[in-house]
Structures are given as C-alpha cells and as structure tokens.
Structure 1
C-alpha cells in the first residue's frame, strides 16, 4: 500500500497537529515557555503556546479568537482578562474590560513571535524585549545573522528519504533518524518508543540526538548514546522536524 505525502507528514508525532511552518520572525519563537496546544487545559497564559489561557474557560486559545469566542479573553488565574498578545500583534479587537500588562514582557513577546510564525502575521519584537546587544567594540559575540535560519537548514533535508523508507544511516533520512533495529527512516521521537529501537542504524548503539535537540530527551530509549548535537547533519534534521511538526528549535 502506498502512503500519501500527507500521511508521511504526520508520522513524527502521533496526535500532534501539523501546521504550515514559516521561518521564525525572531529568536523569541524558539524560546517560548508554554507547550500546551489550543483547547488544552491551563492555569495561566504562560502554559500555552500562544500565550493565552482563556480567562473564563481555563483552556488555551488563540490570543485574538479568545476575545470573542466565549473564552473571556486571556489571563486565566488573574483578576481581569487581558489582550496582551493580540495587542502585541497589532490586533485591536479586545474583549470589554481587558486590562493589558507590559507588552514588552518576554512572556508576551515570545508568545507573539510564536503566533506570528504560526499564522504568518507581521510582528516586530519590542525594543525592550530583545536580548541586550553586546557592548560597542566587543567582537567576541557572533552576530545573530551568523546563525543559519531554520528554513535554510531544513531545505537541505528535503531530498532525503521519508519515513518508512529503508536506510543505512541517520544521514539518509529527512528527519535524521534511521531506526536502530528497523533500518527504516522514522520520526526521531517516535523511533524511541515504537519498536524502531531508537535512531542510529549502522552504529554501535542507538541515539536520540535529534529528539534531544527538539527538547524531547525524556523520551529517549534506554541505552541511547548521545553524539555531537552541533553536527551539521543533526542540526539540519532537527530544523526539518521542527518545521514539519511546529516544534520549537534554536539552531546552534
């Protein structure tokens, strides 16, 4: 039976909704604190990917949608609803009674960057929310532009093998994972638990390198031996998987 491209794209993490990925508008989207998807339960805005925990619903929501869909605005757990992330994105349809906080707060800025990336919205980080620039004359710190973008790294993986395809090594697979025991390309996190034996086919021991870069080290198979997480191939694979499944990743 032939698997469609859509089915393949869903393979890396079962139950995770795939959305179109865009290049991050700033470093913030890779640093957001919350991991909860929309409709997931939450106790505060920072629990959520999009920085909005419905004031009355207690569920993560889009920061603009939450102002009008019965969520009661954002800010669950606070004394008043807010419209912080929506305002940071230049959207003005705030719920009546919304009391906004500091829009330059890192939590608001990271969430706004994530939503901008998710929905292809324009967003310019607040001057006070960005990392401080190095002192004048300090050449020790490399400029941000020296770090490759996620999209440029991911593009280097597109011609490689898709999941379920036979492979001899991790470097043959789009997502940088050739099942240690299966010898087939797999999602780097799924491979740790689905019988693939982890990643690293052809090596002396399985690895969990790409999953670790994506913040999923807790899912690594027992006996996994880490490699060089800064290796070009590993960084490229992590970028590809990051775009495929909308998982935060900051290239090094």
Structure 2
C-alpha cells in the first residue's frame, strides 16, 4: 500500500514539475502589438508585447508573457524571448481572433 502511494505521489510530482505553459488564446489580439497590452499568460513575440515587459520562451519555442519572478518556472526559459517566426505567430494569432469572433460589431 505504501509503495502504491509513493509511486502515485512521485508520478504526480514529476508530471507537475514538467508541465509546460502554453499561451492563453484569449490574448490573441495582443500578440505582436508591441504596446505592452498583453496580460500574463498571453502569447507574445517579444518583451514589448507584455505588460510585465517579460516574454519568456515556454520551452517549446512559443512566447508567453510572464512575471519576471516566474519566468523560469514550469519549463519557461526566462525573459527576453524574441520569436524567430514572429510573422507566422502574429498571423496565427490574428486567425485565432477571427475564430473567436472578436470583430467590431456594427451598432443598429
């Protein structure tokens, strides 16, 4: 019984320790804006996108806005990420905005 508990505990601990952070799609409209309007956990292509001034590589080549104090947690690789495929990332974010339906509506 103790062995089962220990094995389960270790498995859960290891999976939590290696959890990767992925950019929150709700912030797609601010990806690549460069005006510091992106919230923490939103996607980014450089530090200029983030209100925290910290765009961290999530360990999978994606930028995610982070607090500087948390920029090395959960697989993130620190502030200063510059997306080498920024144009493609911005285009994908714009497509996500269209999919979400965040278009300006006309007043009736």
TM-score w.r.t. structure 1 length? 0.18
- Higher share in helix: 2
| Bigger Cα Rg | 1
Q: Which has the higher contact order (CA 8 A, sep 6+)?
A: 2
- Higher share in strand: 2
